[in-house]
Amino acid sequence: MSILRHSTLPCAYDVYILHIGLDIDISSNRIAGEVWVEIKNQSCSYRKPINTLMKQEKTRIPKIKNAYIKQFRFQSRDHLCDAPIPQVEFCWKSKRMRNLRSIAFVIFLSLYCLSLMALLMTRDKIHGIRGLTTFVRQSKWRLNHLLKKRAQAKLPTNSTAERAIERIAEEQDVAQSRLIASLSEPHVHKKFTNSAFGAWMKDPNSTDDRIFVMDNYYRNNKVVVYDSMEHFMAGFEPETHTLPVDWGGTGHAVLNGHLYFNMYNTSIICKYNFERRSLVRSSNLPNSGFGNLSPYQWAGSTDIDFAVDQGGVKVIYATPNNNWNIAVSQLEEESLKVKQTWYTDFRKRSAGNAFIANGVLYTLQRYDVHVTTLNYAFELRTSRCSWPKIPIEIRYGAMSSLDYNDNEKRLYGWDRGHLVSYQVKFIT
């Protein structure tokens, strides 16, 4: 099919140019091509549309006017009139453009993944450098402390010095035995709710077997209490305690019949008595971050996290004075006042979660992967840190709380609405 008849195109012009324009419209899901002729001489220019080519084709390209224009020059009107319409140009060009966009997208995605991997590797290296710096500083402190003790004692004989060194070695062995050796596979007790976040725990000093469940991390003030694990598994009607204020985060703890929790979006820590059904004490935690200033990786108002062990009630948090690194404070159970504080070099936002077992702080490397590790340990008694890399399985991929029970040597966790626990084995 030729472009046009001779009679439709005037003659006596110097230049004959055939233009092919491509118009892509996503709203009507089509590609339209327009063909026109431009003829001109020294005095004037003349443009005459010939016809419009339509081609139905699925595309995700936004609307672009004249995305592709091809020109054919002819020396005379006869040559122009005998030329065929090159419809194949439209389909070929659109496929090529899609291929180029696909290649560009793959390159961009690859660069993004490489940048993310480099960022994660750099973070691990930074943590390693911080841990090494802390270890060197603590080693110097222990050496100076030992030399000072030996100078004060004025050891008269080598045998006395040898006994002192043996005593120090025995203390180090005792401290080493306080570390976790391994964790068992998660034991899934029950799926409690569809909420991915929450906490459950038991009172390690209680003679009963009550289970305390606190669903979600905000906009809730109802604590569900089951009389025993059997009642919980059988679905018995629980006892409900309504707190006078909403809690924040998932770092709650129960000890000696009292619940310790953080008031939502504040730095106020609270103590609730289950027998009296009342709030018996509240206090401000000095310099503590709150409102997601220093949470765990998944945020969720986890700025303040309680932990209980043989030493009583402790709280895990972060302060601006310590560059938002993890701090651990021992609390007075009656007044909730801070008795002693330990400062670490581990950034709290870098931890997926944390707990304390046998006087040692452990952090979870990631909360949202199926296999991760306990990647950091800080001994409160000696202020010594280590990087144990203890494997832990997160079966459902979202660990929002970890609470250690010293009486059972068991770690309780909330894994995407599933109530799980791990048996803890220590180094012997």
DSSP secondary structure string, 267-281? SEEEEEETTTTEEEE
Please report the pLDDT score of residue 129 as a whole number.
Answer: 53
Please report the pLDDT score of residue 47 as a whole number.
Answer: 52
Asked if the structure places residue 351 within a domain, the reply is yes
pLDDT-based confidence at residue 217 (cuts at 50, 70, 90)? very high
Q: Could you read off the pLDDT of 337-393 as tens digits, one per residue?
A: 999 999 999 999 999 999 999 999 999 999 999 999 999 999 999 999 999 999 999
Please report the pLDDT score of residue 5 as a whole number.
Answer: 45
* Mean pLDDT computed over every residue of the chain: 79
Asked if the structure places residue 68 within a domain, the reply is yes
pLDDT-based confidence at residue 109 (cuts at 50, 70, 90)? confident
Asked if the structure places residue 169 within a domain, the reply is no
Please report the pLDDT score of residue 117 as a whole number.
Answer: 82
**Residue 219, domain extent:** 179-426
Contacts of 417 (CB under 8 A, 6+ apart): 191, 192, 193, 194, 195, 196, 198, 396
pLDDT-based confidence at residue 216 (cuts at 50, 70, 90)? very high
Task: State whether residue 302 is helix, strand or coil.
Answer: coil
Q: Could you read off the pLDDT of 22-54 as tens digits, one per residue?
A: 554 444 545 455 555 555 554 455 555 554 444
Asked if the structure places residue 170 within a domain, the reply is no
Residue 240 shares a structural domain with residue 370:
yes
Say which CATH number the domain at 271 has.
2.40.128.630
Please report the pLDDT score of residue 95 as a whole number.
Answer: 54
Tokens standing for residue 70: 């091809």
Indicate the range of 120-129, 166-175, 276-285 predicted with least confidence.
166-175
Residue 123 shares a structural domain with residue 76:
no
Please report the pLDDT score of residue 124 as a whole number.
Answer: 53
Please report the pLDDT score of residue 346 as a whole number.
Answer: 96
pLDDT-based confidence at residue 72 (cuts at 50, 70, 90)? low
Please report the pLDDT score of residue 207 as a whole number.
Answer: 86
Residue 368 shares a structural domain with residue 290:
yes
Asked if the structure places residue 1 within a domain, the reply is no
Residue 249 shares a structural domain with residue 109:
no
Asked if the structure places residue 36 within a domain, the reply is yes
In total, how many domains does the chain have?
A: 3
Q: Is the pLDDT of residue 83 over 70?
A: no
Q: Could you read off the pLDDT of 127-156 as tens digits, one per residue?
A: 555 555 555 555 666 666 667 666 665 544
Q: Which residues of 213-242 are buried (b: 16+ CB within 10 A; e: fewer)?
A: bbbbbeebeebbbbeeeebbeeeeebeebe
Residue 364 shares a structural domain with residue 248:
yes
Residue 140 shares a structural domain with residue 21:
no
Contacts of 40 (CB under 8 A, 6+ apart): 13, 14, 15, 46
Task: State whether residue 327 is helix, strand or coil.
Answer: strand
Q: Is the pLDDT of residue 59 over 50?
A: no
**Contact by Cβ (8 Å): 22, 93:** yes
Residue 93 burial by Cβ neighbours in a 10 Å radius (0-12, 13-18, 19+): middle
Question: Which residue, 42, 59, 86, sits at the end of a domain?
Answer: 86
Residue 185 shares a structural domain with residue 301:
yes
Please report the pLDDT score of residue 155 as a whole number.
Answer: 47
Asked if the structure places residue 361 within a domain, the reply is yes
**Contact by Cβ (8 Å): 68, 50:** no
Q: Could you read off the pLDDT of 260-283 as tens digits, one per residue?
A: 999 999 999 999 999 999 999 999
Residue 21 shares a structural domain with residue 106:
no
**Contact by Cβ (8 Å): 339, 331:** yes
Q: Is the pLDDT of residue 423 over 60?
A: yes
**Contact by Cβ (8 Å): 318, 325:** yes
| For the chain, percent of residues with pLDDT exceeding 90 | 55
